[in-house]
């Protein structure tokens, strides 16, 4: 079978490259998302060499090639894309040609790919972020006191339900990331989600418990520390990238008759070893380094601590290892009953909130607004992942402006020694930790959010960036 010819035929059947929004595949079908359904030639799709049928469903032209074969057709399609601009580029319009040009830039391509992985999971992160923010606010002792209640008055069953509601998405975040990464990089999403679940298997020490000192890593082979990777991002992303590439390469050499049996088996076997015993431990060691560096930075004078931590903390959130700071906050509270790190964390969070709000207000793109406004609300409640992965990091400049705003707010917090009396909540819910110095805390948030908002709105974002990233 000529897989290249099949891919070219699929493109023609879909109405040409200019009518194609995206191409993906599942176990048996090539899924082509089209802009105009009327341009599809269904007869041509059904008559393609190797095709066992075709249909239109959910905005997609779905061509059934069968197990193993569909992977090779998809690979052929991607090879055609890589050959641009040549003869194949003649079917492209000017916008597609510009897209191809931009994708030649490695940095732009990497940023777009990272965004492609995270955009599908943004809705659940936004929803969960809102739940976490509201839960953190309503369970604070100061709020309960208004209703003549204490934390002991809250039903344990109710608390368990709220924990399920708020913790599930972040506890199993590696599974979501690995699923999406496999999908983006041309692997089987179901293999990705299983691999991601392996990273958070209940038999592994919980990452948050290890970070707080309540659990210890499992030492494999006498020197490899193994933990669960709840809430982490990069280990799952890297595992998904490598796993998808491995799967695609295996399908090139494994006979179609054995593909369904051998390919998932080998991918999961190899990637479980690589993820748990190589990729994961590297990031665990990175956690130790980051924690020690943060402790050192907190002791720096003249507001430098605030600039460094307020500016860089959200960059650490991108790696997904920020839960290690729980241990630091517990230590600070145990030592003197005050938590200086929480204020800097709030400044960093407010910086990203200001940046994403600026994008939401300035953009004329409806889809961006639909992501940006809820992400801004989630951020002011203390959860920035939707803002970071959905908007700010996707367009780069808003993220940088958010870091600058965080550094400005952190500098103010360090100079005026703003410290919380607790942990676990930031930004608006975090006000409850600063009732003895509330005005200064609010000023810090306004500085962080205001600086990032102003910079993003003026020089950090325009819809031209959106067009370049499409």
Alpha-carbon Rg of the chain, whole angstroms? 24
Instruction: Check: CB of residue 387 under 8 Å from CB of residue 377.
Output: no
What's the burial of 424, exposed, middle or buried (CB within 10 Å: 0-12/13-18/19+)?
middle
Instruction: Check: CB of residue 173 under 8 Å from CB of residue 236.
Output: yes
Question: What does the angle CA 436 – CA 442 – CA 443 come to, to the nearest 5 degrees?
Answer: 115
DSSP string, 22-40: EEEE-SSEEEEEES-GGG-
As given in the structure block, the two tokens for residue 134 are 């509201």
What is the CB-side half-sphere exposure of residue 413 using CA atoms within 13 A? 37
**Measured distance CA(217)–CA(209) in Å, rounded:** 10
As given in the structure block, the two tokens for residue 205 are 């020490």
Catalytic residue flag (residue 26): yes
Q: At a CB cut-off of 8 Å and minimum separation 6, what does 212 contact?
A: 326, 327, 330
**Measured distance CA(229)–CA(98) in Å, rounded:** 39
Strands 60-64 and 218-220: unpaired
Active-site option among 26, 42, 260, 415: 26
As given in the structure block, the two tokens for residue 94 are 């000017």
Task: Work out the end-to-end distance of the chain between its first and last CA atoms, rounded to an integer number of angstroms.
Answer: 33
As given in the structure block, the two tokens for residue 373 are 């406004």
For the packed helices 189-198 and 234-253, what is the interaxial angle rounded to 10 degrees?
Answer: 130
Cite the active site residues: 26
């Amino acid at each position: 079978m000529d897989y290249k010819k099949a891919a070219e035929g699929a493109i023609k059947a879909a109405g040409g490259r200019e009518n194609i929004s995206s191409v993906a595949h599942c176990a048996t079908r090539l899924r082509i998302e089209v802009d105009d359904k009327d341009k599809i030639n269904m007869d041509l799709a059904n008559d393609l060499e190797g095709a066992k049928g075709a249909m239109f469903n959910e905005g997609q032209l779905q061509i059934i090639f069968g197990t193993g074969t569909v992977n090779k057709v998809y690979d052929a399609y991607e090879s055609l894309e890589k050959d641009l601009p040549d003869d194949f580029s003649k079917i492209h319009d000017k916008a597609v040609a510009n897209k191809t040009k931009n994708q030649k830039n490695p940095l732009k391509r990497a940023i777009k790919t990272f965004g492609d992985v995270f955009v599908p999971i943004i809705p659940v992160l936004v929803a969960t972020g809102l739940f976490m923010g509201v839960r953190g606010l309503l369970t604070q002792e100061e709020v309960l006191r208004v209703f003549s209640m204490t934390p002991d008055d809250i039903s344990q069953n109710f608390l368990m339900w709220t924990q399920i509601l708020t913790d599930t998405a972040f506890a199993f975040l590696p599974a979501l990331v690995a699923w999406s990464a496999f999908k983006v990089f041309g692997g089987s999403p179901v293999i990705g989600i299983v691999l991601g679940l392996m990273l958070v298997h209940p038999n592994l020490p919980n990452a948050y418990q290890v970070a707080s000192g309540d659990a210890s890593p499992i030492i494999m082979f006498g020197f490899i520390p193994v933990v669960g990777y709840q809430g982490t991002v990069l280990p799952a992303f890297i595992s998904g990238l490598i796993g998808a590439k491995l799967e695609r390469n295996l399908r090139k050499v494994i006979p179609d008759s054995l593909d369904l049996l051998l390919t998932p088996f080998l991918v999961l076997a190899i990637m479980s070893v690589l993820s748990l015993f190589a990729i994961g431990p590297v990031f665990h060691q990175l956690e130790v380094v980051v924690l020690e560096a943060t402790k050192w930075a907190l002791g720096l004078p003249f507001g430098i601590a605030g600039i460094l931590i307020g500016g860089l903390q959200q960059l650490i959130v991108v790696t997904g290892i920020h839960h290690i700071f729980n241990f630091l906050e517990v230590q600070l509270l145990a030592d003197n009953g005050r938590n200086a790190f929480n204020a800097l964390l709030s400044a960093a969070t407010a910086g990203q909130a200001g940046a994403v709000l600026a994008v939401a207000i300035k953009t004329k793109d409806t889809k961006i607004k639909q992501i940006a406004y809820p992400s801004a609300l989630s951020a002011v409640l203390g959860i920035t992942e939707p803002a970071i992965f959905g908007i700010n990091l996707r367009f780069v400049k808003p993220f940088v402006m958010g870091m600058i705003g965080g550094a400005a707010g952190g500098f103010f917090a360090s100079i005026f020694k703003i410290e919380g009396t607790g942990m676990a909540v930031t930004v608006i819910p975090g006000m409850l930790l600063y009732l003895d110095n509330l005005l200064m805390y609010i000023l810090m948030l306004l500085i962080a959010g205001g600086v990032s908002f102003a910079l993003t709105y003026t020089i950090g974002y325009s819809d031209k960036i959106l067009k370049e990233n499409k």
